[in-house]
Amino acid sequence: MTQPTIIMAAPNGARKVKTDHPAMPVTIMETIVAAKECHAAGASILHAHVRDDDGKHLLDTGRYQTLLDGLRTEVPNMLVQITTEAVGIYTPQQQSKLVFDLKPDFVSVGFREMIGDGSQIARDHATHFYHHSLDGQIHIQHILYDVDDLARFRKAMAEGILPTARPHVLLVLGRYSGNFQSDPKEMGPFIADGLPDMASWSICAFGYREFDVMIEAIKNGGHCRVGFENNLHLRDGTLASTSADLVRQLADACQPATREETLRIFAL
């Protein structure tokens, strides 16, 4: 595996708390510490969430700005991607407002969330969001959960809802399987499709087979997102101490992309 592989670290996500793992970062300072550890272990980019005072998922410009400022100071060579994950709380309008107010370099956006109910109002809003983000040089990673999402995504590109610039997608495995456990075989339909019109693609995988999925993705030209957001266990089934352990395990099995290589792979 000699091609550079983007390793994106996802150390917390929207839902897990300290009862899931005592090292789960929930505060801004804890997230910064986790980012430093993951960067040292081989991750070139962070997938960042922020929480409220009770540790619950939050889309908040002020808290994100505080996190981004801290990361620029403490780990300046690490790229940072924020999330617009709705978690059943936020509307597409609230998600897009966060992005346009914050103007991050990178953001992950669930395609099925942003396209909403498919009404003309929803389609018009999505069109404005995607094209305005491109104009503002905000790099979107489009989250897709199954091949139906991929088909709808391509249809939206053909209809002009999405820009024609070759996108980067994140495929999520195991989100809707029993007990949130992924299997490398789930990648088959995506691979068979070939993802020919994507600039590049990454994958994340729920459950203890995360590492197996990552290796299969790398073999097929994909990139990786790992961390406590999706999985708490090392490849041998033991509990990882931190997300950095998961990053390091993967970095030892591939050629981690540098910051510069990550930007090139993202077609930036």
pLDDT string in tens for the chain (268-residue length): 679 999 999 999 999 999 999 999 999 999 999 999 999 999 999 999 999 999 999 999 999 999 999 999 999 999 999 999 999 999 999 999 999 999 999 999 999 999 999 899 999 999 999 999 999 999 999 999 998 999 999 999 999 999 988 799 999 998 766 677 888 888 888 887 777 677 799 999 999 999 999 999 999 999 999 999 999 999 999 999 999 999 999 999 999 999 999 999 998 7
Strands (E), the chain: 4-5, 7-9, 45-48, 50-51, 57-58, 79-83, 106-110, 139-144, 168-173, 200-205, 223-226, 255-256
Domain assignments of the chain as residue spans, ordered by start: 4-265
The count of C-alpha atoms lying within 13 angstroms of the C-alpha of 32, restricted to the half-sphere facing its C-beta, is: 17
Residue with tokens 């905000």: 138
CB atoms closer than 10 angstroms to residue 249: 19
Note whether 191 and 175 are within 8 A (CB): no
Q: Which two tokens stand for residue 30?
A: 């804890």
Q: What single-letter amino acid sits at 241?
A: S
Query: In CATH, what is the architecture of 4-265?
Result: Alpha-Beta Barrel (3.20)
CA angle 263, 267, 268 (to 5 degrees): 55
pTM: 0.95
The residues with which 264 forms a beta bridge, in sequence order, are none
